[in-house]
Structure 1
Amino acid sequence: MGLQHSAVRPSAVAESRSDEELARGLVAGDEDCLAAVYHRWSPLVRTLAQRSLGDADEAADVTQQVFLGVWRGRLGFRPERGTIGGWIVGITRRRIADALSARTRRLRLVTAAGAALPLTEPAAHRPEAALDRLLVLRELARLPAPQQRVLRLAYYEDLTQTQIARRTGWPLGTVKSHARRGLHQLRFGLRHDEQAEHYT
C-alpha cells in the first residue's frame, strides 16, 4: 500500500468521524478510515520529522513509513493505553530515531572511507552531504560482493567483525581482509572521483 498526500482522499463520512471511531475502523481494516487518519495526522507527522531531521525528503519518507506502520500494526493499537494520535506520535518518534540512526551509520561509512570526503562540519548542515552519501553508495556498489557484504553488515547493521564472521560463516581473518580491502577500494574510488571533479 502506497500513501501519497495528493492521492489519499477520505470520504466525507470518514473525515467527520471522531478519533475513537476512526481508530475502531482502522483496526477493523477499513481503508477509508486509514485515509482519514492519514489526512488528519500526516501534517503533524511531517512537521515532527522535518524538525528532527532538517530534510524535507527524509521527512516525507518517514511520513510514508509511519502510516505504513500504522496500517500494518493496526491490530496492536490499544485504546485503553492512549489515543490514536498519541499512538501515531509514538510510531513517528521511533521512525525518526531509525532515520537518525541510519544517517549516523552512513556517516560512519563516509568517515571510514577516508579524507577524500572532508567532514569538517556536521554532515546534516552541509549541502553536499547528500552527494557524499550517493558517492559512497555508488562506490560501495562497485566492490566485489564479499567486500560489499562485510561493509554493509559493519556499517548498516552495526555488527563487529566477529559477529560478521558468525553471520557469514567466514573465518575472522577473511572478514578482516574483506573489510580492509573494501575500505581501501572505497578510499581509492572516492579520491578518484574528487580528483576528476577538479578537472571537469
Structure 2
Amino acid sequence: MPVHDEPGADTGELAQALAVGSTDALAEIYRLWSSLVHTIALRSLGDPADAEDVTQQVFVSAWHGRHTFRPEHGSIQAWLVGITRHRIADLRTQRYRNHRNLQAVALESAATPPVTDDAEWAQRLLVVHELERMGDPRAAVIRMAFLEDRSHDDIAEALGLPLGTVKSHIRRGLLQLRERLKEVDRVSP
C-alpha cells in the first residue's frame, strides 16, 4: 500500500482498503489523523487521559464501522471527526451519570426527614420512574435544570448539546411529566 504523506493525499484507495479490512489502511489512517482526533478530544474534555481513551475508541469504532464509511458523503477526516464527537458525547454522558449516581447516594445518606405522606412518596417515585423511562439526554437535561439548578447554557456546554436542543428537551420533558402525572391523578382514588 502506498504511504500518504499528508491528509490531502488520495484517500479513496485508503478508504477502499479499510472497507475490505486492511489493517495497514487502519494504521495509515491512524498515522494521518490520530493527532487531529486527540486534539479535538483534549480540547473538548480537558483531560489528557480521557483524550487518549477517546482517541483509541474512535479508531476502534472506525475499524468496526468501516463498512459504513461512504467517500461520496465526505472525507475520512470528516468521518473520524463525527465519530470523535459521538465518543466525546458518550464520555460526557457517562461522567454525568457517575456524578448523578454519586449525588443520589450522598443525598440518600444525608439526614433528611422521611416522607410520611404516601401520596407524596408515590409522586416522587413516579417522577423518578418517568425520568428513567425518558432516557438520556432528555432526562439528564431535566435533572440538571431542576435538581441541580443549572442554567440552559451550562447544561448545553456540559452535555455538548446545542442550546436549542437543551430548551426543547426541557419543554418536551416537562410536558411528558405533566401528562403522566395527570394520567395517574385520573386513575387514583
Q: TM-score, normalised by structure 1?
A: 0.51
Aligned to 2:55: 63
Structure 2: distance between partners of 1:54 and 1:106: 18
Assess if the C-alpha contact under 8 Å between 1:49 and 1:62 holds in 2.
yes
The CA distance in 2 between the partners of 1:15 and 1:33, in whole Å, is 10
Distance in 2 of aligned mates of 1:100 and 1:60:
15
Q: Which residue of 1 aligns with 2:69?
A: 77
Residue 159 of structure 1 is matched in structure 2 by: 132
Instruction: Map residues 1-200 of structure 1 onto 2, 5 A cutoff.
Output: 13-16=2-5, 18-114=10-106, 159-160=132-133
Please give the root-mean-square deviation of Cα atoms over the aligned residues, in Å: 2.7
- Matched to 2:27, the amino acid is A
Query: Is the 1:14–1:33 Cα contact (8 Å) retained in structure 2?
Result: no
For 1:54 and 1:75, locate their aligned partners in 2 and report how far apart those are by CA, in whole Å: 31
Matched residue count:
112
How far, CA to CA, are the matches of 1:72 and 1:30 in structure 2? 12
Please report how far the alpha carbon of residue 100 of structure 1 lies from its aligned counterpart in structure 2 after TM superposition. Answer: 0.6
Partner amino acid, structure 1, of 2:17: G
Counterpart-to-counterpart distance in 2, 1:91 and 1:20: 19
Aligned AA for 1:53?
L
TM-score normalized by structure 2?
Answer: 0.53
User: Distance between the aligned counterparts of 1:114 and 1:100, measured in 2?
Assistant: 21
How many percent identity over aligned positions?
A: 46
Unpaired runs of 5+ residues, structure 1, are 1-10, 117-153, 164-200
For the residue of structure 1 that corresponds to 2:106, the secondary structure is coil
**Secondary structure at 1:29 match in 2:** coil
Q: Which 4+ runs in 1 deviate beyond 4 A?
A: none
Which letter maps to 1:25? A
CA distance in 2, matches of 1:14, 1:69: 23
Q: Secondary structure at the match of 1:61?
A: helix
> Cα deviations across residues 104-146 of structure 1 (Å, max 9, x unaligned)?
1011011112169xxxxxxxxxxxxxxxxxxxxxxxxxxxxxx
Structure 2: state its 5+ residue gaps. 109-127, 136-189
One-letter amino acid matched to 2:96: T
Q: Retained in 2: the 8 A contact 1:26–1:74?
A: yes
